[in-house]
Copies of this chain bind each other. A is one copy, B any other.
Amino acid sequence: MTTPANTPLSYEQAGVNYELIDPLKIAAQRAAASTATQLAQHGFSEVPASRGESAYVVDVGPFYLASIVECLGSKAMVADEMALLTGKSWYDGIAQDTIAMAVNDLITVGATPLVVQAYWAAGGSEWFQDADRAQALVAGWKKACEVCGVAWGGGETPALAGIVEAGRIDLAASCTGIINPKSRLSVGDKLDAGDAIVLLASSGIHANGLSLARKLAERLPQGYLTPIEPGLTDLTFGAALLAPTVLYSPVTEALAKAGIQPHYSANITGHGWRKLLRHPKELTYRIHTVPPVTPVLRFMAEQAGHDAREAYSTLNMGAGFALHVAAADAERTVQIAKACGIDAWVAGRVEAGPKRVIIEPIGVSFGDDDLQLR
Binding site for B on A (CB under 8 A): 15-18, 20-21, 23-25, 27-29, 31-32, 34-36, 38-39, 41-42, 44, 46, 51, 56, 58, 60-63, 65, 67-71, 73-74, 76-77, 112, 114-115, 117-119, 121, 124-126, 128-129, 131, 134-135, 137-139, 141-142, 145-146, 148-165, 168-170, 172, 174, 176, 178
Of B70, B134, B158, B160, which one neighbours A24 at CB under 8 angstroms? B134
Chain B contacts for A137, CB-based, 8 A: 24
Report Cα–Cα, A206/B150, bound state, in Å. Answer: 33
Q: Is the interface of A mostly helix, strand, loop or mixed?
A: mixed
Of B119, B131, B169, which one neighbours A71 at CB under 8 angstroms? B119
A115-B67, A154-B32 given as contacts; is B159 within 8 A of A16 (CB)? yes
Chain B contacts for A68, CB-based, 8 A: 117, 153-154
Q: Can you list 17 A-B contacts (CB < 8 A)? A: A17-B159, A23-B128, A23-B131, A24-B128, A24-B157, A32-B152, A32-B153, A35-B146, A38-B145, A51-B154, A56-B154, A58-B153, A67-B115, A68-B153, A69-B172, A74-B162, A176-B176
Report Cα–Cα, A154/B34, bound state, in Å. Answer: 12
Chain B contacts for A29, CB-based, 8 A: 154
A76-B163, A159-B16, A162-B165 given as contacts; is B121 within 8 A of A71 (CB)? yes
Of B21, B34, B138, B150, which one neighbours A125 at CB under 8 angstroms? B21
Q: Which residue of B lies closest to A61 (CB)?
A: B62
Chain B contacts for A155, CB-based, 8 A: 28, 32, 69
Report Cα–Cα, A5/B340, bound state, in Å. Answer: 63
Of B32, B44, B63, B131, which one neighbours A114 at CB under 8 angstroms? B44
Q: Which residue of B lies closest to A26 (CB)?
A: B138
